[in-house]
Structure 1
């Protein structure tokens, strides 16, 4: 009982004393339970939805996907713009070591608001998997996909609740830019086969994502090393989370591109070798015939 009492006490202390008072009354921010419920429902749907669709015809959903991807391009472009104005283009904002500013006006408040939009966008993006399930694209529903989508809302609820600013700007601003490119790709892909010739850059999307994670890792290590007076616990949490993505995305990149490219090259070399052997055999047969 003592353990649970301490757990409840620490939770109440954190959510009432350590939280950012500016964000407390914002939508979904008073407690973590709505976000936890949404993520739980998402995970149940991922598992149950695939079983439910097993013997059913896949839905097309082309118009819904076009609308959805277009809206996500616009939303992420807006989020990136707001981060750009409130941090990258703000001469008073340190790009390498920025402390939390809890001011309730001006650019610090603008930064807190766009951090909430970034968090909320991660809830909207759970629809990615819903579309996969309803279209029976189960090969797209990998562990990496579900892990990323189910953990981002929880991570960023914590970020907006306690530190919607300071060093947390880095990963959100870069990620929103990457998602502008990603949902543009999805939008073009949803338009149909005639757009395939414009989608040659899929491989580079994964490369951009890996660069993003390494950049965030280096930046976070630097900020912790020089001591930016930013809660160090969030720094360690971000390092662990970011490193897990580096491992998973590197594994995905290897299996999807490097391994397949090697297998294709080996198959090509094998065919060339077999073709050469058959040619020599044919030539030797012709020579034997002529000699007879």
Structure 2
């Protein structure tokens, strides 16, 4: 048992100190994983236990003004991250096939404006689930929804903690671009509920999400396939199965929602 404990402590020190990027360690929630993990556990307890219990004897809240403001803030935040990511990296000197970890003159600026801002946005995304519960739409708090939100917070934290720049950050640009489209759609449905009945919007938003995960999957496969790429391959070994899983989940949702014909009664 003592050997296992010593090994666990050594691994924790290695991950939390030795390979962590020293430029970001004093940023809020970055020093150790425990505060962020505590917040995520609080999120799970809130959306699955405490808030549903609270809403069980109450009518649904009308949150349309709040959600409209939230969607606008998300659109602005994601647009800012996409712009900074392209201007400081992906339309400047970054390579799609193999981009080493960024240690150039704008690397700290990129880490703050792109990577850490993305982490903040992923935390803000958790409000989506809170809104579902407060509007008594618990059926929308699915495994896919919660898994995706929880996973993206973890991924964005890891980017800031270990590799705040370079190859892995392509997913930030792609994900934020997709979220701009998504939150524009959500904003439209807040203003005009007829958009909720439009299968064209829903169908194409889901298609864009599937394309996003597929491109990111290819992006990480290129990292593994490219010899002598000066970017650590370990993130690819995590992100390849993660994105493959997301492609499968979203394709399954797409098939059930838009392709499979309902069974006749």
Q: What range is the shorter-chain TM-score in?
A: over 0.9
Give structure 1 regions of 4+ aligned residues with deviation exceeding 3 angstroms. 194-200
**CA-based RMSD:** 1.8
Distance 2:16 2:205 in 1: 37
Residue of structure 1 in register with 2:108 after alignment: 109
Q: Does 1:17 align with 2:18?
A: yes
Distance 2:126 2:95 in 1: 33
Distance 2:247 2:131 in 1: 26
Residue of structure 2 in register with 1:241 after alignment: 242
Q: Of the two, which has the highest radius of gyration?
A: 1
Distance 1:229 1:235 in 2: 13
CA positional deviation for 1:6 = 1.4
Distance 1:139 1:191 in 2: 22
CA positional deviation for 1:122 = 0.5
Q: Does 1:201 align with 2:198?
A: no
Distance 2:171 2:192 in 1: 32
Maintained 8 Å contact 1:80/1:177? yes
SS at 2:185 equivalent: helix
Residue of structure 2 in register with 1:147 after alignment: 147
Maintained 8 Å contact 1:87/1:95? no
SS at 1:27 equivalent: coil
Maintained 8 Å contact 1:20/1:163? yes
CA positional deviation for 1:95 = 2.1
Unaligned runs of 5+ in 2: none
Residue of structure 1 in register with 2:175 after alignment: 175
Alignment size in residue pairs = 261
Distance 1:20 1:115 in 2: 12
Q: How does 1:1-292 map to 2 (within 5 A)?
A: 1-48=2-49, 49-90=51-92, 92-103=93-104, 105-106=105-106, 108-113=107-112, 114-193=114-193, 200-227=200-227, 228-259=229-260, 262-263=261-262
CA positional deviation for 1:193 = 2.6
Q: Show CA shifts across 1:79-108 (max 9, x none).
A: 111111122210x322211111234x32x2
Give TM-score scaled by structure 1 length.
0.85
Distance 2:163 2:139 in 1: 36
Distance 1:185 1:252 in 2: 18
CA positional deviation for 1:53 = 1.3
SS at 1:94 equivalent: coil
Distance 1:35 1:196 in 2: 34
CA positional deviation for 1:229 = 2.2
Cα distance change, pair 168–127 in 1 and its aligned pair in 2 (3 A):
same
Unaligned runs of 5+ in 1: 271-292
